[in-house]
Structure 1
Amino acid sequence: MTTNKGFCASVCRCFFEYSTPQILVIRSTKVGTLNRIIQALVLGYVIGYVCVLKKGYQDTDGVLSSVTTKVKGVAVTNTSDLGLRVWDVADYIIPPQEESSFFVLTNLIMTLNQTQSHCPENVGFDCVTDSDCKAGLSNTRGDGVQTGRCVNFSSVARTCEVLAWCPLELDLQPPDPPMLAGAENFTVLIKNSIRYPMFNFNKRNILPHVNKTYLQQCVFNRVTDPDCPIFRLRDMTTEAGEDFQTMAVHGGIMGVQISWFCDLDLPASWCVPKYTFRRLDNKDPENNVAPGYNFRFAKYYKTNNNKETRTLIKGFGIRFDVMVFGQAGKFNIIPTLLNIGAGLALLGLVTVVCDLIVLTCMTKRNLYKENKYSYVDDFELLPDGTP
């Protein structure tokens, strides 16, 4: 019975206990220095990193963007197949319009006067007799549909005959130097409009101070003309650490990066784009299988006898991908209060850390414990001494 009364008394004592902070001032150089160092670190993090560097007092929004491009330039070639020829925008920009991208033809292999007829397949589909060729077979790596006949490809080789666009394209290496070497002097006008919908902020990379006269004569230069939206192709590849003429032989992919990081608490005129350039495709010399960038297209026409003919072009060139990214920030009381509250909570942890060190690591920890915790009983005792 006495045991039950003691247990009930303990439960009642725990239930009706109340803890209140007790201020304990420790006059110690070590403890005081530790406390101030931790406080300084917390304040440095909150003020320096969160508020100043990361602008924790601002609300942020991501960029919405649209891009259009216009290339200008003329190149001249003089070959035995084509003779003297001038190439303009309609010839070397394929297709004329793409979304946030444009392709410039820099090199090509042409197969002229192809017609729908019969001709021997290229080497790789060798045969000895007609039985080695299967009529109607269409090989995905071939150039046409086999007729079932084995014919002479050359004086030393025989291949299966196919119905295809003849003469067939030969697997040749692209010319070096590139045929359209003059493409390095082509220029492109990049027009970029951005919007931050949260702040109802709009801007474009043709800045307000850029007039029509300036735009007709400027070319982007990071030192003298950093606001000009007209870029020379050679300059872009040079800034990316590439040689245009070397890259033009097999083609490649270039990235044009436009960054809009804007502090809208500052004047709007300070929000300007920054341009950087880099090569995106793999140019590892140890991995030289299928290098660069190329594709095939054809130009069709009809002869005087109404026979369809085409010119097949294997085009090598540089594709420029325009990538826009950025973020805008503006003062807002809600993130400001949230970060202030987080900072105050971190300052509260300073006391916890110091108490942990003082009560577990210091030589006088027992003395500190005796002075930190005090117990005051407010129970009336019964005549037998129990509460």
Structure 2
Amino acid sequence: LDTAEFVIPPKETNAFFVMTSQIRTELQTQTHCPENPNIAQALCMNDSQCESLKSKIVLERNGVYTGKCIQSDKVSIRSSCEIFGWCPVENDSSDKIITYDNASFLSVFIKNNIEFPKFNVFRRNIMDWYSDVMAIENCRWNPKDPIDKYCPMFVLNDIFNAAKVNYTKMLRKGGIMQINIDWNCNLDFDEGRCLPEYSFRRLDKGDYIVSGGFNFRYSDHFMMEESDGKYRLYRNMYKVYGIHFIVQVRGQAGKFHIVYLMRNIGSGIGLLGISKVICDFITFHLVKHRKFYKKMKIVVVSEQELYKELLNEDEEEEEKEKGDTKDEITPSTQEDVDNR
């Protein structure tokens, strides 16, 4: 098998799927056949049991019930109700599952471009030291190597090991993996130091009893010539299990700017002023001993005391002014005495 058969569908938006196992039901055509005996409601002993199903909705059915009870083509000792639909019906028993053990050795090339429009910076995860296509094809992502930890070529087994996931348990039922590409850039330095970081994790727990893993169905339709010379529509139906990889890109960049620095300083000073008002409100209104705090911080002054205090301040200022005048006159008087 090659990439065209492992990767289904070939293109997705920020995601890709790798098949690890499948169940094939080949040469289906629209006709009459027995229902799958694994469906409990389809088991029968006579036609009357199947007649009752004609008016009921059975969610797991593979076609329309005709009301007949016929021999099953899956289990010889059982009978099941006849249906009209795509026949033969799918048999999803464990012995019919085809598993691809070597899928973990496939490699995937991830190309990512990111832009920080505020700083007019464009970056991509293909570094400048990869001078040609061969250099990229020969590298493999290695988190312990200072160069190859930026390689955009990943072996799936390395992704599973980095996420600490047991790949063998995902082979049969599949799962969902996330690939994170983080750009944390300090643009005060050279743009060449703005480099991606890769991390991986499994999104589904993988131990669900009902509908665990990841799978879907698709089919190929074609016309085939019958023995009577007429052409009839056939299909091959595939139930595929595999790993759905979701790629998430996150980025942030910053650069020093004096305007933003002054703005933050001003905001800090403003918050300090607001904090004083908030503290006073809490102290005066919400604290248990608020009356005591209010008494110690606020002094109530009468009008007479205020007048006396202001008068004393005026007298002190007048005496101070007189003292300054004496200091200015004394040197000149002494000089006149000396001259005489």
Secondary structure, aligned partner of 2:12: coil
Residue 255 of structure 2 is matched in structure 1 by 330
Q: Give the residue type in structure 1 aligned to 2:62.
A: D
CA distance in 1, matches of 2:76, 2:135: 64
Q: Give the residue type in structure 2 aligned to 1:95.
A: P
Structure 1 residue 260 and structure 2 residue 260: aligned?
A: no
Residue 111 of structure 1 is matched in structure 2 by 25
Structure 1 residue 151 and structure 2 residue 75: aligned?
A: no
CA separation of 1:350 and 1:321: change in aligned 2, threshold 3 A: closer
Structure 1 residue 139 and structure 2 residue 53: aligned?
A: no
CA distance in 2, matches of 1:296, 1:379: 95
Q: Give the residue type in structure 2 aligned to 1:113.
A: L
Superposed counterparts of 1:184-195, under 5 Å:
184-195=104-115
Residue 173 of structure 2 is matched in structure 1 by 250
User: Higher Cα Rg: structure 1 or 2?
Assistant: 2
Q: Give the residue type in structure 2 aligned to 1:132.
A: Q
Residue 96 of structure 1 is matched in structure 2 by 10
Superposed counterparts of 1:298-377, under 5 Å:
298-305=219-226, 306-346=231-271, 375=306
Q: Could you report, residue by residue, the CA deviation over 1:266-305 in whole angstroms, capped at 9, with x for unpaired residues?
A: 211111110000001122x3x3222110111122333343
Q: Could you report, residue by residue, the CA deviation over 1:30-53 in whole angstroms, capped at 9, with x for unpaired residues?
A: xxxxxxxxxxxxxxxxxxxxxxxx
Residue 217 of structure 1 is matched in structure 2 by 138
Q: Give the residue type in structure 1 aligned to 2:43.
A: D
Q: Report deviation, 1:136.
A: 7.8
State the identity %: 36
Q: Report deviation, 1:349.
A: 7.2
Q: Report deviation, 1:350.
A: 8.6
Superposed counterparts of 1:29-48, under 5 Å:
none
Residue 82 of structure 1 is matched in structure 2 by none
TM-score under structure 2 length normalisation: 0.74
1:133–1:146 CA contact under 8 A, matched in 2: yes
CA distance in 1, matches of 2:57, 2:272: 76
Superposed counterparts of 1:140-179, under 5 Å:
140-153=59-72, 154-173=75-94, 179=99
Q: Of the candidates 218, 223, 239, which is equivalent to residue 162 of structure 2? A: 239
Secondary structure, aligned partner of 2:198: strand
Residue 117 of structure 2 is matched in structure 1 by 197
CA separation of 1:367 and 1:258: change in aligned 2, threshold 3 A: closer
> Which moved further from structure 2: 167-176 or 141-150?
167-176
CA distance in 1, matches of 2:25, 2:295: 95
Q: Report deviation, 1:192.
A: 0.4
Q: Of the candidates 42, 47, 51, which is equivalent to residue 130 of structure 1? A: 47
Q: Runs (4+) of structure 1 moved beyond 6 Å? A: 349-354, 365-370, 377-380
Q: Report deviation, 1:210.
A: 1.9
Secondary structure, aligned partner of 1:242: coil
CA distance in 1, matches of 2:256, 2:128: 25
Q: Report deviation, 1:367.
A: 9.1
CA distance in 2, matches of 1:269, 1:161: 68
Q: Report the aligned-residue RMSD.
A: 3.4
1:255–1:320 CA contact under 8 A, matched in 2: yes
Q: Could you report, residue by residue, the CA deviation over 1:324-370 in whole angstroms, capped at 9, with x for unpaired residues?
A: 0121112334432221013334555798879x99xx99xxx999877
1:107–1:175 CA contact under 8 A, matched in 2: no
CA separation of 1:206 and 1:156: change in aligned 2, threshold 3 A: same
Q: Which has the higher helix share?
A: 2
Q: Could you report, residue by residue, the CA deviation over 1:74-127 in whole angstroms, capped at 9, with x for unpaired residues?
A: xxxxxxxxxxxxx11111111110000000001111122222221111222123
CA separation of 1:215 and 1:149: change in aligned 2, threshold 3 A: same
2:23–2:92 CA contact under 8 A, matched in 1: no
CA distance in 2, matches of 1:238, 1:293: 20
Q: Give the residue type in structure 2 aligned to 1:208.
A: D
CA distance in 2, matches of 1:226, 1:367: 65
> Which moved further from structure 2: 320-329 or 304-313?
304-313
Secondary structure, aligned partner of 1:142: coil
2:137–2:153 CA contact under 8 A, matched in 1: no
1:126–1:157 CA contact under 8 A, matched in 2: yes
CA separation of 1:157 and 1:338: change in aligned 2, threshold 3 A: same
1:260–1:272 CA contact under 8 A, matched in 2: yes
Q: Give the residue type in structure 2 aligned to 1:150.
A: C
2:99–2:171 CA contact under 8 A, matched in 1: no
Secondary structure, aligned partner of 2:261: helix
Secondary structure, aligned partner of 1:249: helix
Residue 127 of structure 2 is matched in structure 1 by 207
Q: Of the candidates 267, 289, 307, which is equivalent to residue 210 of structure 2? A: 289
CA distance in 2, matches of 1:195, 1:272: 13
Listed as ranges, the gaps of 5+ residues in structure 2 are 284-288, 312-340
2:173–2:212 CA contact under 8 A, matched in 1: yes
Q: Give the residue type in structure 1 aligned to 2:244.
A: R
